[in-house]
Amino acid sequence: MLLKNGLRSRDSRFFSLFTVIRFDNSMCMTNQNDNGTCYTQADCERKGGKPRGSCASGYGVCCYFEYMCSQSTSQNGTYFKNPPTPQPICNLMINRMNDDICQVKLELDVFEIAGPNSKGECADEFFLVTGGSSVPPICGLNNKQHLIYSVTPDSGPSQLSVILSVSTTMHSNARLWNIRIYQYECTSPVLAPVGCLQYYTSASGVVQSFNYRDDVKSISKDTNFVHHLANLDYSACIRMASGYCGIRWSQYPGDNVSFTMTGDASAITSTTTLDPKNVEYGDACKYDYIRIPGGSEDGGSPANTKDRYCGRALGFCRTTPTSSTCSAILGAVITYSKPFQLGVVTDADEGGTATQSNAPEDKSNRGFRLVFNQTPCMS
């Protein structure tokens, strides 16, 4: 064990009763498998944490920090948890743990509040992040999602707020959240690039829209549901893995509702056969769409490249040597354009009568649940 003051534990036989042991206040795992920070028992209790297990070879305790409403924290790895009884407003103030914090990541381990209204707006209940770079208000079911925002050394604290409406009925009355809060120093190697609301660091994974629900069929009152949120314009970024050059985006296997951004999707179920007529891309996507810059069938044919994708099935444009007209083909979209990112844009509503200010009507749009696979440089 390396102690911060340079002494090594093999010297411990020389320690007197009055020797001060110093160790880094680094992250640790509590005995209940939560994140904590390694402190002395006295420091942990003084800072308002709960000792849960040991760290630093037994010199410290793994200190667990959990806060509910109307509190503030400056501890890395703090949990923000719903109170046992829902309150109309629940805030947590986040103070930077030092002056060199540039980014905050919120891991939504659990997140379930009421969903959006018929326009896709988070109107009745929503989660707000203020005091950092822009984060859209979100609502609905967002378990396992995450959010990233930037802070500057001269900005004040940031704040998380959950606004609840006691009059809103949900299929369950639970308003649940458990959010892990991480603070990152400006020199951290794991910082997300600026402008990324989400950041994925694996070679393959799943990205889904906020309030993407697996349990649609179990909610009988939800026949004309709106699931994807309105007024979004953000990027989910993917770190390019070593040895990989491209990225392939495909619909989630076994879920054929997994790309329903625009149009009437009310007749589509998870097992409906996908129809290439429901594939839309390029200039046809004006209201709600994802952005895959440089996307095409193989990522290599500039004439067929489309940046925007919408409709009710994911696919690409294929032209033939004799015709430059696009045929819409169902399937994965590949790009070699860097950095890897999935843009998400939605307008202010889900339509109605098509007018200048209203998009054509969308129905039962779930949003997206897409799998990404980075492709090796040799392929």
Closest to Ca ion by CB, 34 or 288:
288
The distance of closest approach from Cβ of residue 212 to Ca ion in the complex, given in angstroms and rounded to an integer, is 13
- Would you give the end-to-end CA distance of the chain in angstroms? 45
Closest to Ca ion by CB, 169 or 223:
223
Closest to Ca ion by CB, 23 or 289:
289
The distance of closest approach from Cβ of residue 272 to Ca ion in the complex, given in angstroms and rounded to an integer, is 18
Residue among 310, 308, 168 at smallest CA distance from 228: 310
The distance of closest approach from Cβ of residue 347 to Ca ion in the complex, given in angstroms and rounded to an integer, is 5
Closest to Ca ion by CB, 203 or 290:
290
Closest to Ca ion by CB, 17 or 267:
267
Q: Which residues bind Ca ion (CB under 5 A)?
A: 262, 288, 347, 350, 362, 365
Do 195 and 312 meet the contact criterion of CB atoms below 8 Å apart?
A: no
The distance of closest approach from Cβ of residue 362 to Ca ion in the complex, given in angstroms and rounded to an integer, is 4
Closest to Ca ion by CB, 96 or 312:
312
Return the number of other C-beta atoms located less than 10 Å from residue 93's C-beta: 17
